[in-house]
Every structure is written in C-alpha cells, then in structure tokens.
Amino acid sequence: MSDTHAVIVISSHVIRGSVGNRAAVFALETMGLPVWALPTVIMPWHPGHGPSTRVVIPEDQFEKIIEDLIRAPWLPEVKAVLTGYFGHAAQPRLVARLISALKAKNPDLLYVCDPVMGDKGGLYVPEATAEAIRENLIPLASLATPNRYELAWMAGADLDSNTAIMDAALSLGPAKMLVTSAVPMMAGGTGNLYLSGKHALLAEHRLIDNAPNGLGDLLSAVFLARLLSGMDEERALQLATASVFEVLARTAKRGGDELTLETDAASLSTPMAMVQLRHLMHPSRTGRR
C-alpha cells in the first residue's frame, strides 16, 4: 500500500508488552500501512502487571507536537487517525484540534476513536479524562470502538442486552460503532457488535479467560486496516475478529502474559480461526429510532 495511506496512531507506549501503540502500530505496519506514532504516556509495562514509572508528555509540549503535526508538509499522506489511551484530560482536547484540521483538508479522513477508559470494574482513567474523550473526540469519530462498559459509561445506561447496546450506540452519535464484549448468543462465547447505517452484525468466538491486555487496541487497528484496504464492512469485521481471537488463543496456549504479536504476525493478515457472524435486527428498522 502506498505512503498516501498513512495512519496517525495516538495512544500509550509500553517498553515491555503489546498494548496501546505497541499493538496498534505493529498491526498496521504488518498489514502494509505507514504509521505516524505519537505516545501519550510512556510506561515500562501495562499497569495490570503492577506499579511502575509513568511519564506523561506535559500539556505544553504535547500542544507543540500537535501544532507541528498540523503544519507538517506531509499531512496529505494521512488518510486515517486512531486514538486510544490518554495520559490527561488536555490531550483529547488537543487531539480534537488535530482531527479538525485534518478533516478540513480531507473530509474523507477516517477517524477511529477507541475510548480507552475502563472495563468491568469501572473507569481506570480520571473522570475528567473520560469526559474529555466523550465530549471532544466521540463527536468527531467516523468509527468508535468502545467495550461494552465504556459505552455504558458514556451513554449513562445499563447495557445488559445487544438491543440496549445498539440503542446506546445510536444515542451517542458516531455513524459507525464496534462494541467489544457484547452479549454473546453462543454458549461460552463473547462477541463484537458492529452497528452502521447498513449493518447490525455480531461476530462471536469462544471466550478465553484471563486474556492478556491489548485486545481492544489490536482489534481497532486490524479493523481499520481492513477498511482502508477497501474491504466491505462485514468481511472486515469477520477477519479482524478472527485475527484477534487467533492471536489470543495462541498466546494463551503458550501461557503468555502479553499478546505474542511478533510470533503470530501471520494471524493478522491471514487468520484461519472460525468466527460466527450473525445479522441482528437493525434498531432503525424496529421503529425505536
């Protein structure tokens, strides 16, 4: 793929592990896309492994980097932006400035917002940071990729069914949303629910307990790469879900505590795992919206 399809990825950087930018950049580059990578915070490892030093780019320095990017002569190369974890509340507001500048130059820019803010246990970023993502970035997103718990927090609703998930997705605003940890229809499974103007799709696979971190980062990147290749949404969802499940299953078989992306790179481009794909009733066809 040519350098005119570059992706800017803005998220955390860990020295050891495969989360945040480490997962997304590897996946995008493996799938043939040039990447501009901007770290929001630098850590030795994922916080789930225990306390460590946390280096956050100061607001004034981060703002200067954003302004540099806005003025960059290579900006026409950028066809997509993917954002994930933020180190403080000012960062989403500054990134919104970059997204707006890019959209002014290229209305077809694909912006994927992965609102990394929480999980089953609640928010793991300060509420001000979560609010900044919801208020500044979600309205600009072409596609949002929250997990079910992040969507529930942003929509202020309990999401105990896929119908509730779809209603919350429509209420939040982005034209397209891919929700991970959706309510499975198969026993012992988990699913990714994709909602767009045309589709309501549920991609399911077997649930693997005690999964390493980084699955959401990886899914967002692989799905984005598939979309940028021109693949239709249904096939892109199926293959992206298969890739992530295959990497997870192989990592779990080895007993790894981090996704083994370097060993399983082939799973990103040519996954062999089976994924159950179901067409759900789109909310716009039920009279609720």
For residue 249, pLDDT over 50 is answered with yes
Residue type for position 289: R
Please provide the CATH number assigned to the domain covering 3-285: 3.40.1190.20
Output the average pLDDT for the chain.
93
Q: How confident is the model at residue 84 (pLDDT cuts 50, 70, 90)?
A: very high
For the chain, the structural domain boundaries read: 3-285
Average pLDDT over residues 37-49: 93
Say which range, 65-69, 86-90, 240-244, 273-277, has the weakest mean pLDDT: 273-277
What pLDDT shows up at residue 174? 92
